[in-house]
Structure 1
């Protein structure tokens, strides 16, 4: 189990990343996620590298400008922090070929923030894609 100082540093990195995603301040992404890698298990997509991840996050922000994550709980492991969160947003723009519906979604997700020491190496997100699709239809 990581020591309390490492736990706090990792939590601060996660909070900073969620703030970057919420505000769209993607210029700060490399500061908290030097080589970003997003693995979206719910829709079987992987985004690897700064340019690819920045494009993905911009597309998601344009599609869901009010996208948000409300942390429910954090669980610490040797090389990861597991988070449970409520994810919300309203479909206002085109994403992955889908036209905006103007409808919102809210779902519970689990995410693994993988670390090498205090360096974030991967954001692996588990969610039910069908739940989102039903709410946006």
Structure 2
């Protein structure tokens, strides 16, 4: 493994960036085969929910679930950064909540949420993980903001949303995300 203090050559960084841009484009186009082809083994880590989607079928299910909830989901890129083993992308995620999001019923609300994704590469330049960070309360606040709380139907929707949120909050965090060890910082 190379030193964490040395960036790879420019051609490697450009190839990584192209792969990540292709990945984003194919996600928006709902071309799951193309998106999954960017990984030798698809692996997503959703830190806000402490969930891991590992393997082709789990990641395809994640894509299906999120696009049922937000069929128009898309991105607005903010910035790209490179590290010795990753491309770090800041972006806005946008979408309209027209289908269930797990146990949370559709609200019809929209969201525009700032996120960061780490696309992590192994020593052979294979994409091995997409690790996504965001504040899920920011998403939920936007989704419920359009509910008319003065109407009985709005109050029923809000109650169903809260019930769904509570149902989803009882999950145990994935141990691959919860049980961490500090990095070894001595050496090269």
- 1:98 corresponds in structure 2 to 104
Asked whether the 8 Å contact 1:24–1:58 carries over to 2, the reply is no
Q: Give the number of the structure with larger relative contact order, counting CA–CA contacts within 8 Å between residues 6 or more apart.
A: 1
CA RMSD for the aligned pairs?
A: 1.1
Conservation of the 8 A alpha-carbon contact between 1:104 and 1:135: yes
> Aligned pair count?
137
Instruction: For residue 32 of structure 1, give the secondary structure of its aligned residue in structure 2.
Output: coil
**TM-score for both structures, normalised by structure 1:** 0.95
Structure 1 residue runs of 4 or more that deviate by more than 3 Å after TM superposition: none
TM-score between both structures, scaled by the size of structure 2: 0.70
CA drift at 1:119: 1.2
| Aligned mate of 1:63, from 69, 82, 89 | 69
Q: Which structure 2 segments of 5+ residues have no match? A: 1-6, 145-188
Deviation, 1:118, is 2.5
Q: Residue in 1 aligned with 2:162?
A: none
Q: For the Cα contact (< 8 Å) 1:39–1:123, is it kept in 2?
A: yes
Deviates more, 1:56-65 or 1:24-33: 24-33
Structure-2 change in CA distance of 1:68 and 1:5 (3 Å):
same
Which structure has the bigger radius of gyration? 2
TM-superposition CA deviations, 1:8-36 (whole Å, max 9, x none): 11111111111121111112233212211
Structure (1/2) with the larger strand percentage: 1
Can you give the 5+ residue segments of structure 1 that lack an aligned partner in the other structure?
none
- Aligned-pair distance for 1:107? 1.2
Distance 1:133 1:19 in 2: 25
Aligned to 1:118: 125
The reply on whether 1:130 has 2:146 as its aligned counterpart is: no
In the alignment, what sits opposite 1:89? Answer: 95
Match in the other structure for 2:42: 36
Give, in angstroms, the shift of residue 69 of structure 1.
1.5
1:73-84 matches, within 5 Å, as 73-84=79-90
